[in-house]
């Protein structure tokens, strides 16, 4: 059975619907991340947001990026963050104020920022084509190890430095105060 | 002796630096050796400067004993030294006052002698450098170097409120001099731009003097230079750092401050501000003359009501320095000559007055005029010395102060009788505050305050006499034979006025 | 809509702004860290979107996106290490209580 | 002459330097060198005077002699020589200055013999002699000015000689400062001369003065006169002279009667062509002079301090001289200068002798009846009083009469009239002085009374010597009336001025207008004496009449205002105190406040404002990361806005 | 990766190897400070040698992503010097606080690697990565005293705000990249030139990108109003690290500005000129004003470093206004500032050798008497920071002011603001001198002994501070050549 090229009753293309779905999820979960009281739930919401973004990556024809998104963000960073939350969540600390006293100005600033970005983005001619272009994975690999080999190496050094320093800072010392 | 082959100016200027370095290696405990070294090096510098006096040819119009070496060739900045009559006079004044000040510090400075002497010698390097530098950049460097040791001298060995005074002194001076730096750089750049981007000579005084800058640059650059020198000299209304600095400075610091540092301003006007920017100088001259007249009268009137000896002398300096600026900016031969003489004389006379105030302060640790009285009988020699320099300061004919003042009067009379009349009135005020001070200190019965301190009130000691006698002799000699100085500076005066005479004021009618 | 670069960029901007809001408004250090991650994701979205719609950028975009992810990971590592270190000292993850250093 | 003339001032200078340096160690011997120096100076001066007045040697042909020592101020176009110039006018002054100076030195040997500052006194006296001689001999205005200031200095030192006395210290300061006020004018005058003529040499100035326009000359003349007013204590700068009596009496005699105060007269006389070119200035000179004369005389009426009476008398006589100068009676002015120098010097030395006798008492109300106790003093003082009163044939008569006569003949009737009145007043207060001091009953403090004694020989000798010219000077150089020797001597000096005035030179008519004037003035003087006689008594051989204090009191009561005005010196001291000390002090205090609060306040204010700004700005550094982030976000938005604006251009 | 590429990036490789060697030595001989220090210094010497060797030629590597030119060499040497000084000054301080040296040195060298990449980057991505490689170790270093509450507080503030600004910067980079279609700096510049040809103004997206990028770099150089992290991070960090932070990342960020704003965004310079002018004025003024009120020397120096950023920005603005001298001034100032500031912090660190000694002004009371040589050296550094001739700081200031005066117009006003600021700055620098020489010491404690390494470093820093001022010729030549390497 052929799937209709547009969604019945709504008239949008499937891609549009998917886009809207992912976009709405992403925005919704992002808002939850910044507004929920329970920080663990915030973490979970963040994971959901990352997932939605992975969907958009697929939609944009970058499946490898989508895969990396799932692996790195959801698999590594988000888990790391959740661990950190566990480590720093003292039971003695009740759910105090979520927001800083400056939440209102922060909100205003954020809204202005969003509006300005949206306006400038739409006002600019990006030289974009009207259809999405796909990226072949093998091409990507070649690129990564040939044209972008220097950045690739730098990233490895960066991660090395971050790990060395991170380990030093985070490790509990024998004889230390705690 | 052929002194032309030697880099004698460098030797004079940096001999004290050598002394300072030597002192740095002398152990702290042998204060006597430190003192002797300091005095010795300053005397070496002084003796060398006297050689300069011998070898100088007054009839020769250009700079003499010129030494030059490329320093920062990328910007055409040179290490260039040279003297004409004006700088020669100031150099000798500086070397003379320095050894006198060092000698005068032997008694009063007992703490941290080593640091003190090092500071003093570095101070001398800076002062001498200012007077011999013929490169604007080099000049600026020496001009600023002076600040640091003086800052320390006031701040470490000064009176109760010394930190306030010294910081005020440094900050105030810095504001002016940094703006002058902008002026110097702008000037150099204007020259460079006019010479196809070639930096050669852009900081060279002799080259720049030949170049005529466009009027906008002149107006702003002159203002920058003016501010620096007006603060230094100091002119009303930029003078308020001076009383504070004088009151807090140790005796020798006051002597150098009054004797040489204030002259940096006058010297700067004559050497740089006027010759480089003659049109701007003409343009601003009326305003500067007005400020000078105000300074002359105002300083004297305010001096009338000072409760503190040093403050009184400080305000009298404001008044006396007003003559210098007045003499310069009337653009008359006598005015300029008078201004130069006034600088020298004020250095000698006020220097001596500060020495004398220091003598009393060392004995009583007080300078409040109201507590004094009747010293004549107790310290007769001191009274005579004080009276002598007091009268010299009041402009008594026959002593040097009179000549400078009168020449300025004559110059200003030629410029405008009204200006001369307004400033001549100061003769009355000067007599007023000086005689009042003298009467309060020396006449009448011995005051209770002195009675309590009578054990300390011994008359002048030999060292103190030794510091005062050279100054006294010079005051008399220059009073009777001012020609000694006038012939030396004649070349400079002619040169400066010649340049200034060709310029005319800039039309400030911007609205046209 | 899904074929328009602007839509993705606007989405990216909105997420970026939400991240900014979180960063400005949340008190918890880890919340702030999460907000930064949101912002970086927004950037990545923009990168991939550009690659998908601009021919010249097509090949590079995915590589850049991957590298940015790696940087984000490095930042997160360091950040969490610092958070843990300060938590040991202060016993609180609330950043607005870290105000010993001020003025 | 070239060596002699410089020696005249140089010797006292050497004396001063020597005594100043070594005097302290010499004790009583300290006076030796100064006195010898002055005596030597006097002898040399007399040689010079003789040559000058006889027109012999270098002075041949009535020319002055110039001696240039060195180029004092070689400032480009401003060339001033250190040089001397002597002519007949100088000679006249030299006579007065050196003679009286020498006598005062001798007198001081006795008068000051018990003072601990003996050596100092002689050093100062020598300094004064040097300064005064420099003033008189200088060949240019600047050197005159130098001498001018130096005599001021010596005067300051000598008035304040007894510096422990507050009043002496104050008087010295007052003298110097008030003099300085006049000096400002003098200095400005010198500047004006240089700027308009390009020279300061007196002879050259006089030669070229005619080339200037009238206004310039008038200004120059008035400025010079301002200087003269200060030094010669003319109204309104007269206030210092009475106070100057705080100095030792020889000083009062020498400086404040006979020599220094004449400097103003000398200056105007020396610059006579300048004044002659400016008749308006002459009127001012005459008016100031005659006003001072009557003002001072009116004050002298009621003063009780013997020296103060003489001081006001001096003021009055100086006023006379200026009046003479103002009316063009140049010779008469110098004549009066000379005769007044001698008899006023005599009077002062006499008063010193009196004071010496009554142990320092100066108040005439505690004197009286001293005639027999100190006969030499009495006799010489009587001569002086008669001389000053203008009784013929003593010196004062000739000079005063000549002034009045010329004032009348030159058309200055008002000067003449006032002068005549003053002549009477002079006679009156002088004989009041005599009456109170020497005649009648003794009112001396009983404790002092037994010790009253005549002064030592060193003091009486100068009195006797001075009495001679007081008597004879008029006859010697003023006779015959109208064409005396002095007139001949000074003719070359005043020749030009007299010509300029272009007055018809009528022959002296003893049996005409001159005679009438003469008789009038003698009559008025006699009236004055009779008035004094009636009130304060008289004791002459044959006449003996006691004073009448009651009538004095009732007379004073009838004119309370005038009496109080006279007693309080017309309140000038109070007025000046109000103007210059109180109001001036307020202004100075205000300016100092202004300096601290406004000028320095601005400086400190800028500093404080900067620091305040810093303190305000540092509040932004709250320590809260989110605040910082908000700041960054706002900065970002503003910057984005800014760039969009730039892009939209 | 070809052999030529490898030889071109050899300095960076050498730096990474040094870091690795330090870690390796620590693994082999744990806790041996001497060995670690020797390794680090030797390694840095080798890096410097390699930099000089590589600097003999100008070359592009990795298809134009990495550029070796005179500017690279100049900056690389400067970074090596900064790190070397930091390593020299740190051991005393770290040892007395029981902090490990090897990790410190390794992380520091990693940061240096990042900075060196910035100096050579001709690709936006490399630029970003270099920046991250430079700053992420910086966060770690700021919190290096991990048991110290202040150090970690400073670190988390630095980290949070730094990441925030990195995200902003990256967003801006992406916009620029999206519009120009390339990450290569030359291509970007060429595209921008094309886009702006014919007098067209930049598009809204580009303006947005520019705003985000400017904000990002302004944060990294600590320009007002993006400076907030500086005082807190500087004050909290261990003092030798503060010294490093005040120069290393700052000079690195200026390298970024040179490569990005002057390399890539040069066509837009008339657009970013006014922004830089305003930033410069705000930065100088605000930094100095707040520094006036500080009583903690470290914090005071932090604010002063903000002010110095402002002076350097004057040079940048002068460049944007058309004077190459501005660029030279930036480089000269950076070099001059490095040594005097490191020296000043080194004195503070030396005084704080005993744990528990604060950097409050009171610590300096009577220093001139207690430790005369330290007092003299501190005075020297402070005078240089004030701008008293003939010291390095003066010449740096004179240079940027000269450039500003040459540019004329509004830049002249900026020059005047700069000198007025310099005068105000004298107050707080001299106040330290006041404490050192004009106050009595508060404690009579025996002064601590300082290691010979510290002394050597201090003497070297002071010698450089004097030498750059008295004989600026060689450095002038160097900055001249370095500046010519940019378009």
The residue behind tokens 């404040």 is D256
Do residues D509 and D519 lie in contact, with contact meaning Cβ atoms separated by under 8 Å? no
Q: What is the reported pLDDT for E463?
A: 96
Q: Which tens digit of pLDDT belongs to each residue from B160-178?
A: 889 999 999 999 999 999 9
What part of C 25-44 touches A (C-beta under 8 Å)?
25-31, 33-35, 37-38, 41, 44
Q: At A172, list the tokens.
A: 């509990």
Q: How far is CA B273 from the centre of its chain?
A: 16
Distance CA D555, CA D301 (A): 12
* Mean pLDDT, chain B, whole residue set: 90
Judged on CB neighbours under 10 Å (0-12, 13-18, 19+), B477 is middle
Q: What is the reported pLDDT for A96?
A: 56
- Provide the 10 A C-beta neighbour count for residue B197: 8
Distance CA D267, CA D260 (A): 11
Distance CA E152, CA E170 (A): 26
- Percent above pLDDT 90 for chain B: 65
Distance CA A146, CA D173 (A): 100
Confidence of residue E199 (pLDDT cuts 50, 70, 90): confident
Q: What is the reported pLDDT for B2?
A: 46
CA nearest D318: which of D264, D381, D280?
Answer: D264
Would you call D610 an interface residue with chain E, using a CB distance cutoff of 8 Å? yes
3-state helix, strand, coil in chain A (%, to 5): 70, 0, 30
Concatenated DSSP letters of B103-157: HHHTTT--SSHHHHHHHHHHHHHHHHHHHHB-BHHHHHHHHHHTHHHHHHHHHHH
Length of chain E: 487
The Cα-based distances of D73 to B261, B338, B398, B403 in angstroms read 27, 11, 11, 8
Do residues E406 and E325 lie in contact, with contact meaning Cβ atoms separated by under 8 Å? yes
Q: What is the reported pLDDT for E1?
A: 61
Tens of pLDDT, residue by residue, chain A (178 residues): 566 777 777 777 888 888 999 999 999 999 999 888 888 888 899 999 999 999 999 988 888 889 999 988 888 888 888 888 888 876 545 455 566 678 889 999 999 999 999 999 888 888 777 777 776 777 777 777 778 888 989 999 999 999 998 888 888 765 444 3
Could you give the count of Cα atoms lying within 13 Å of D503 in the half-sphere of its Cβ?
Answer: 19
Q: What is the reported pLDDT for D439?
A: 83
* Mean pLDDT, chain E, whole residue set: 92
For residue D4, the surrounding DSSP H or E stretch is: helix D4-26
C-alpha torsion sign, points E411, E414, E420, E421: negative
Distance CA D622, CA D625 (A): 8
DSSP state of C26: B
Q: What is the reported pLDDT for C1?
A: 67
Q: Which tens digit of pLDDT belongs to each residue from B325-376?
A: 999 999 998 999 999 999 999 999 999 999 999 999 988 888 888 888 888 8
Higher pLDDT, D28 or B294: B294
Q: At C8, list the tokens.
A: 């993705």
Q: Which residues contact A157 (CB under 8 A, 6 or more apart)?
A: E16, E110, E113, E133
Q: Which tens digit of pLDDT belongs to each residue from B186-208?
A: 999 999 999 988 888 899 999 99
Query: Quick check: C100 and D623 CB within 8 A?
Result: yes
- Percent above pLDDT 90 for chain D: 18
Choose the mutation target among E31, E67, E110, E120 for the interface with A, i.e. most A CBs under 10 Å.
Answer: E110
Q: At D390, list the tokens.
A: 């203008």
CB-closest option in E147, E148, E160 to C32: E160
D540: β partners = D543
What part of D 609-628 touches A (C-beta under 8 Å)?
624, 626-627
Q: What is the reported pLDDT for B3?
A: 52
Nearest residue of chain B to residue E433 (CA atoms): B152
Contact list in C for residue E183 (CB cut-off 8 A) is 60, 64
- Provide the 10 A C-beta neighbour count for residue D74: 18
Distance CA E121, CA E259 (A): 7
Would you call C68 an interface residue with chain E, using a CB distance cutoff of 8 Å? yes
Distance CA C45, CA A49 (A): 12
**pLDDT, mean of residues C6-34:** 91
B80: β partners = B68
Find the range with the poorest average confidence among A40-54, B465-479, C86-100, D84-98.
Answer: C86-100
Choose the mutation target among E205, E207, E215 for the interface with A, i.e. most A CBs under 10 Å.
Answer: E205
Distance CA E381, CA E376 (A): 9
Q: How far is CA D255 from the centre of its chain?
A: 8
Query: Quick check: C50 and E177 CB within 8 A?
Result: yes
Q: What is the reported pLDDT for A90?
A: 60
For residue D567, the surrounding DSSP H or E stretch is: helix D560-567
Would you call D588 an interface residue with chain A, using a CB distance cutoff of 8 Å? no
Distance CA A141, CA D510 (A): 143
DSSP state of D440: S
Q: What is the reported pLDDT for D395?
A: 85
What part of D 327-366 touches C (C-beta under 8 Å)?
none
The residue behind tokens 């960054």 is D632
Query: Quick check: A168 and E203 CB within 8 A?
Result: no
The residue behind tokens 């002659």 is D276
Would you call D116 an interface residue with chain E, using a CB distance cutoff of 8 Å? no
Q: Which tens digit of pLDDT belongs to each residue from D415-439?
A: 888 988 888 888 888 888 888 888 8
The residue behind tokens 């020749």 is D495
Q: Do chains D and B touch (3 or more CB pairs under 8 A)?
A: yes
Distance CA D201, CA D79 (A): 9
Length of chain B: 512
pLDDT(E50) > 90 = yes
User: C15 preceded by cis ω (within 30°)?
Assistant: no
Distance CA D513, CA D124 (A): 48
Distance CA A119, CA D648 (A): 14
Task: Report the SS3 class of residue D509.
Answer: coil
Judged on CB neighbours under 10 Å (0-12, 13-18, 19+), B299 is buried
Query: Quick check: D630 and C24 CB within 8 A?
Result: yes
Q: What is the reported pLDDT for E282?
A: 95
Would you call C55 an interface residue with chain D, using a CB distance cutoff of 8 Å? no
Q: Which tens digit of pLDDT belongs to each residue from E455-467?
A: 999 999 999 999 9
CA nearest D169: which of D177, D179, D178, D159?
Answer: D159
Distance CA E161, CA D621 (A): 14
Q: What is the reported pLDDT for D453?
A: 83
Q: What is the reported pLDDT for D504?
A: 64
CA nearest E68: which of E78, E54, E49, E47?
Answer: E54
- Provide the 10 A C-beta neighbour count for residue B2: 6
Q: At B431, list the tokens.
A: 């007599």
What torsion, rounded to 10 degrees, do the Cα atoms D562, D564, D565, D568 define?
A: 160
For residue D75, the surrounding DSSP H or E stretch is: strand D65-75
Q: At D462, list the tokens.
A: 């100068």
Query: Quick check: B148 and E420 CB within 8 A?
Result: no
CA nearest B467: which of B251, B245, B250?
Answer: B251
**pLDDT, mean of residues D556-582:** 82
Judged on CB neighbours under 10 Å (0-12, 13-18, 19+), B510 is exposed
Task: Report the SS3 class of residue D454.
Answer: coil
Q: Which residues contact D38 (CB under 8 A, 6 or more apart)?
A: D11, D12, D15, D98, D101, D102, D105, D125, D126, D129
Higher pLDDT, E214 or E1: E214
Do residues B251 and B354 lie in contact, with contact meaning Cβ atoms separated by under 8 Å? yes
Q: Do chains E and A touch (3 or more CB pairs under 8 A)?
A: yes
Q: Which tens digit of pLDDT belongs to each residue from E104-155?
A: 999 999 999 999 999 999 999 999 999 999 999 999 999 999 888 899 999 9
Q: What is the 3-state secondary structure (H, E, C) of B35-83?
A: HHHHHHHHHHHHHHHHHHHHHCCCCCCCCEEEEEEEEEHHHCEEEEEEE
Q: What is the reported pLDDT for A48?
A: 92
pTM (predicted TM-score): 0.92
ipTM above 0.95, yes or no: no
Distance CA B142, CA B148 (A): 11
What is the β-pairing status of strands E66-68 and E59-61? antiparallel
Backbone angles phi, psi at D201, to 5 degrees: -60, 130
Distance CA D337, CA D238 (A): 18
Q: Which residues contact B36 (CB under 8 A, 6 or more apart)?
A: none
pLDDT(D512) > 80 = no
Higher pLDDT, D546 or A29: A29
E159 to chain C, closest Cα gap in Å: 7
Do residues E348 and E414 lie in contact, with contact meaning Cβ atoms separated by under 8 Å? no
Q: Which tens digit of pLDDT belongs to each residue from E247-258?
A: 999 999 999 999
Distance CA E83, CA E332 (A): 18
Distance CA D81, CA E135 (A): 81
Backbone angles phi, psi at E80, to 5 degrees: -60, -45
Do residues A65 and C68 lie in contact, with contact meaning Cβ atoms separated by under 8 Å? no
Q: What is the reported pLDDT for D438?
A: 84
Would you call E289 an interface residue with chain D, using a CB distance cutoff of 8 Å? yes
- Provide the 10 A C-beta neighbour count for residue B202: 26
Do residues B94 and B260 lie in contact, with contact meaning Cβ atoms separated by under 8 Å? yes
* Mean pLDDT, chain C, whole residue set: 89
């Amino acid at each position: 059975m052929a799937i209709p090229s547009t969604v019945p009753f709504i008239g949008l293309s499937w891609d549009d619907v998917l886009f809207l779905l992912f976009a709405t999820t992403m925005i919704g979960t992002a808002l939850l991340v910044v507004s929920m009281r329970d920080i663990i739930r915030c973490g979970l919401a963040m994971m959901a947001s990352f997932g939605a973004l992975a969907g958009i990556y697929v939609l944009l024809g970058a499946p490898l990026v989508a895969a990396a998104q799932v692996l790195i963000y959801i698999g590594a960073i988000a888990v790391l963050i959740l661990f950190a939350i566990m480590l720093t969540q003292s039971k003695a600390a009740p759910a105090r104020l979520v927001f800083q006293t400056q939440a209102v100005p922060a909100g205003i600033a954020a809204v202005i920022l969003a509006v300005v970005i949206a306006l400038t983005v739409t006002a600019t001619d990006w030289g974009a084509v009207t259809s999405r272009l796909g990226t072949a994975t093998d091409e990507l690999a070649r690129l990564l190890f040939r044209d972008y080999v220097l950045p690739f190496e730098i990233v490895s050094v960066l991660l090395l430095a971050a790990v060395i320093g991170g380990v030093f800072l985070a490790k509990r010392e024998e004889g230390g105060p705690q | 002796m052929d002194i032309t082959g030697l880099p004698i100016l460098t030797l004079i200027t940096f001999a004290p630096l050598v002394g300072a370095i030597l002192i740095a290696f002398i152990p702290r405990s042998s204060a006597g050796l430190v003192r002797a070294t300091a005095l010795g090096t300053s005397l070496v510098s002084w003796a060398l400067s006297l050689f300069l006096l011998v070898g100088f040819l007054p009839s020769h119009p250009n700079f003499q004993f010129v030494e030059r070496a490329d320093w920062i060739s990328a910007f055409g900045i040179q290490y260039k030294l040279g003297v004409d009559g004006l700088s020669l006079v100031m150099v000798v004044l500086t070397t003379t006052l320095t050894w006198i000040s060092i000698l005068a510090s032997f008694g009063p400075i007992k703490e941290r002698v080593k640091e003190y002497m090092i500071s003093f010698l570095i101070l001398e390097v800076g002062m001498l450098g200012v007077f011999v530098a013929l490169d604007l950049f080099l000049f600026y460097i020496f001009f600023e170097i002076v600040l640091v040791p003086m800052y320390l001298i006031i701040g470490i060995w000064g009176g109760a409120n010394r930190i306030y005074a010294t910081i005020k002194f440094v900050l105030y001076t810095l504001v002016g001099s940094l703006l002058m730096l902008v002026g110097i750089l702008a000037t150099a750049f204007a020259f460079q731009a006019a010479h196809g981007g070639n930096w050669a000579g852009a900081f060279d005084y002799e080259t720049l003097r030949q170049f005529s800058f466009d009027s906008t640059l002149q107006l702003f650059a002159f203002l920058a230079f003016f501010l620096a020198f007006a603060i230094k000299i100091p002119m009303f209304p930029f003078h308020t750092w001076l009383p504070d600095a004088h009151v807090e400075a140790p005796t020798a610091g006051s002597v150098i401050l009054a004797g040489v540092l204030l002259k940096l301003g006058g010297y700067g006007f004559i050497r740089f501000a006027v010759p480089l920017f003659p049109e701007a100088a003409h343009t601003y001259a009326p305003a500067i003359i007005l400020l000078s007249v105000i300074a002359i009268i105002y300083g004297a009137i305010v001096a009338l009501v000072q409760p503190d000896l040093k403050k009184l002398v400080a305000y009298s300096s404001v008044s006396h320095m007003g003559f210098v600026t007045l003499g310069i900016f009337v653009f008359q031969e006598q005015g300029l000559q008078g201004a130069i003489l006034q600088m020298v004389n004020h250095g000698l006379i006020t220097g001596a007055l500060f020495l004398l105030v220091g003598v009393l302060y060392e004995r009583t640790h007080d300078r409040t005029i109201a507590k004094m009285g009747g010293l004549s009988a107790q310290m007769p020699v001191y009274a005579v010395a004080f009276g002598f320099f007091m009268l010299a300061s009041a402009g008594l004919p026959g002593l040097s102060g009179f000549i400078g003042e009168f020449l300025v009067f004559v110059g200003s009379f030629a410029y405008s009788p009204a200006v001369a009349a307004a400033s001549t009135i100061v003769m009355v005020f000067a007599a007023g505050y000086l005689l009042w001070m003298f009467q309060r200190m020396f006449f009448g019965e011995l005051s209770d305050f002195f009675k309590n301190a009578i054990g300390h009130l011994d008359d002048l000691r030999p060292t103190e006499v030794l510091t005062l006698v050279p100054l006294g002799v010079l005051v008399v000699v220059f009073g009777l034979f001012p020609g000694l100085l006038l012939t030396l500076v004649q070349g400079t005066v002619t040169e400066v006025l010649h340049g200034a005479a060709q310029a005319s004021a800039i039309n400030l009618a911007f609205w046209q | 809509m899904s074929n328009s670069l602007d839509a993705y960029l606007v989405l990216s901007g909105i997420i970026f702004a939400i991240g900014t809001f979180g960063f400005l408004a949340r008190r918890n250090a880890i919340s702030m860290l999460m907000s930064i991650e949101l912002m970086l994701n927004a950037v990545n979205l923009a990168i991939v979107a550009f690659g998908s719609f601009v021919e010249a950028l097509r090949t590079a975009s995915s590589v850049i996106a991957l590298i940015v992810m790696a940087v984000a990971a490095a930042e997160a590592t360091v950040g969490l290490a610092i958070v843990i270190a300060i938590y040991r000292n202060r016993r609180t993850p609330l950043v607005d209580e870290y105000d010993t250093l001020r003025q | 002459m070239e060596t002699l003339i410089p020696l005249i001032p140089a010797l006292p200078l050497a004396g001063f330097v020597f005594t100043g340096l070594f005097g302290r160690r010499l004790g009583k011997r300290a006076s030796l060198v100064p006195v010898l120096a002055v005596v030597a100076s006097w002898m040399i001066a007399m040689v010079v005077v003789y040559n000058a007045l006889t027109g012999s040697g270098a002075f041949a042909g009535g020319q002055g002699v110039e001696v240039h020592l060195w180029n004092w101020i070689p400032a480009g176009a401003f060339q001033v020589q250190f040089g001397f110039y002597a002519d007949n006018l100088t000679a006249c002054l030299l006579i007065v200055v050196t003679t009286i100076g020498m006598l005062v030195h001798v007198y001081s040997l006795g008068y000051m013999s018990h003072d601990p500052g003996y050596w100092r006194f002689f050093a100062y006296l020598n300094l004064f002699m040097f300064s005064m001689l420099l003033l008189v001999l200088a060949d240019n205005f600047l050197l005159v000015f130098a001498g001018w200031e130096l005599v001021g200095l010596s005067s300051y030192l000598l008035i304040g000689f007894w510096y422990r006395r507050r009043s002496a210290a104050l008087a010295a300061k007052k003298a110097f400062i008030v003099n300085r006020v006049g000096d400002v004018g003098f200095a400005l005058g010198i500047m004006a001369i240089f700027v308009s003529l390009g020279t300061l040499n007196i002879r050259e100035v006089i030669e070229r003065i005619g080339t200037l326009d009238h206004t310039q000359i008038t200004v120059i003349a008035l400025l010079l006169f301002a200087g003269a007013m200060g030094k010669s204590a003319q109204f309104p700068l007269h206030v210092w002279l009475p106070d100057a009596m705080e100095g030792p009496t020889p000083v009062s005699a020498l400086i404040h009667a006979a020599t220094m105060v004449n400097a103003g007269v000398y200056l105007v006389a020396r610059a006579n062509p300048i004044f002659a070119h400016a008749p308006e200035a002459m009127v001012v000179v005459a008016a100031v002079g005659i006003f001072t004369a009557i003002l001072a005389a009116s004050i002298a009426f009621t003063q009780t301090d013997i020296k103060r009476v003489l001081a006001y008398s001096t003021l009055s006589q100086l006023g006379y001289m200026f009046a003479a100068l103002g009316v063009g009676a140049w010779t008469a002015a110098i004549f009066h200068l000379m005769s007044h120098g001698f008899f006023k010097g005599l009077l002062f030395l006499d008063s010193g002798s009196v004071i010496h006798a009554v142990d320092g008492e100066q108040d005439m109300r505690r004197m009286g009846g001293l005639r027999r106790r100190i006969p030499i003093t009495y006799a010489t003082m009587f001569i002086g009083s008669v001389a000053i009163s203008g009784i013929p044939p003593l010196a004062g008569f000739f000079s005063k009469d000549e002034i009045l006569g010329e004032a009348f003949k030159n058309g200055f009737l008002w000067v003449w009239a006032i002068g005549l009145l003053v002549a009477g007043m002079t006679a009156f207060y002088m004989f009041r002085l005599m009456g109170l001091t020497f005649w009648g009953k003794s009112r001396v403090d009983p404790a002092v009374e037994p010790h009253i004694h005549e002064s030592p020989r060193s003091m009486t000798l100068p009195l006797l010597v001075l009495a001679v010219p007081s008597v004879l000077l008029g006859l010697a150089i003023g006779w015959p009336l109208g064409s005396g020797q002095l007139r001949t001597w000074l003719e070359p000096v005043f020749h030009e001025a007299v010509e300029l005035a272009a007055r018809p030179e009528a022959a002296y008519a003893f049996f005409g207008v001159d005679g009438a004037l003469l008789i009038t003035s003698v009559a008025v003087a006699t009236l004055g004496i009779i008035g004094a006689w009636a009130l304060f008594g008289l004791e002459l051989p044959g006449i003996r009449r006691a004073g009448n204090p009651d009538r004095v009191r009732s007379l004073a009561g009838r004119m309370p205002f005038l009496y109080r005005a006279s007693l309080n010196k017309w309140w000038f001291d109070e007025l000046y105190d109000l103007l210059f000390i109180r109001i001036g002090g307020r202004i100075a205090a205000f300016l100092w406040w202004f300096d601290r609060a406004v000028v320095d306040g601005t400086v400190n204010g800028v500093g404080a404002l900067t620091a305040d700004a810093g303190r305000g700005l540092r509040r932004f550094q709250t320590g809260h990361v989110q605040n910082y982030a908000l700041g960054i976000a706002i900065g970002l938005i503003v910057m984005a806005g800014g760039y969009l604006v730039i892009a939209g251009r | 990766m070809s052999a030529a590429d490898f030889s071109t990036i050899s300095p960076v490789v050498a730096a990474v190897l040094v870091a690795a060697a330090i870690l390796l030595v620590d693994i082999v001989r744990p806790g041996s400070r001497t060995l670690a220090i020797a390794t680090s210094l030797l390694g840095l010497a080798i890096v410097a040698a390699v930099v000089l060797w590589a600097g003999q030629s100008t070359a592009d590597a990795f298809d134009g992503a990495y550029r070796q030119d005179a500017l690279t060499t100049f900056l690389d040497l400067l970074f090596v010097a900064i790190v070397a000084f930091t390593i020299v000054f740190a051991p005393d301080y770290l040892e007395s606080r029981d902090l490990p040296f090897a990790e410190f040195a390794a992380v520091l060298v990693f940061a240096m690697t990042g900075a060196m990449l910035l100096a050579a980057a001709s690709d936006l991505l490399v630029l970003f990565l270099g920046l991250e490689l430079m700053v992420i170790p910086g966060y770690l270093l700021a919190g290096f005293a991990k048991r110290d509450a202040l150090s970690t507080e400073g670190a988390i503030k630095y980290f949070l705000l730094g990441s925030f600004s990195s995200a902003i910067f990256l967003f801006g980079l992406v916009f620029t990249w999206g519009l120009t279609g390339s990450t290569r700096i030359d291509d970007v510049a060429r595209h921008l030139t094309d886009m702006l040809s014919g007098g067209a103004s930049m598009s809204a997206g580009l303006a947005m990108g520019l705003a985000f990028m400017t904000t990002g770099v302004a944060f990294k150089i600590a320009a007002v109003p993006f400076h907030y992290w500086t005082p807190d991070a500087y004050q909290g960090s261990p003092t030798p690290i503060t010294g490093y932070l005040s120069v290393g990342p700052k000079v690195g960020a200026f390298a970024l500005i040179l490569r990005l704003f002057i390399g890539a965004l040069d066509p837009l310079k008339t657009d970013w000129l006014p922004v830089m002018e305003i930033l410069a004025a705000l930065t100088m003024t605000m930094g100095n004003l707040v520094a006036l009120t500080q009583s903690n020397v470290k914090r005071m120096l932090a604010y002063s470093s903000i002010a110095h950023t402002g002076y350097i920005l004057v040079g940048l603005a002068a460049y944007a206004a058309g004077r190459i001298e501005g660029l030279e001034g930036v480089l000269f100032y950076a070099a001059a500032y490095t040594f005097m500031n490191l020296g000043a912090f080194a004195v503070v660190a030396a005084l704080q050798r005993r744990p528990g000694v604060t950097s409050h002004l009171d610590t300096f009371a009577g220093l001139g008497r207690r430790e005369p040589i330290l007092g003299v050296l501190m005075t020297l550094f402070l005078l240089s920071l004030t701008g008293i001739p003939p010291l390095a700081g003066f010449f740096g200031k004179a240079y940027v002011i000269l450039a500003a005066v040459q540019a004329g117009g509004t830049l002249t006003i900026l020059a005047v603001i700069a000198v007025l600021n310099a005068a105000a700055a004298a107050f707080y620098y001299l106040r330290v001198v006041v404490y050192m020489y004009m106050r009595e010491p508060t404690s009579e404690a025996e002064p601590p002994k300082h290691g010979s390494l510290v002394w050597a470093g201090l003497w070297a820093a002071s010698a450089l501070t004097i030498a750059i001022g008295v004989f600026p010729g060689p450095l002038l030549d160097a900055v001249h050549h370095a500046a010519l390497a940019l378009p």
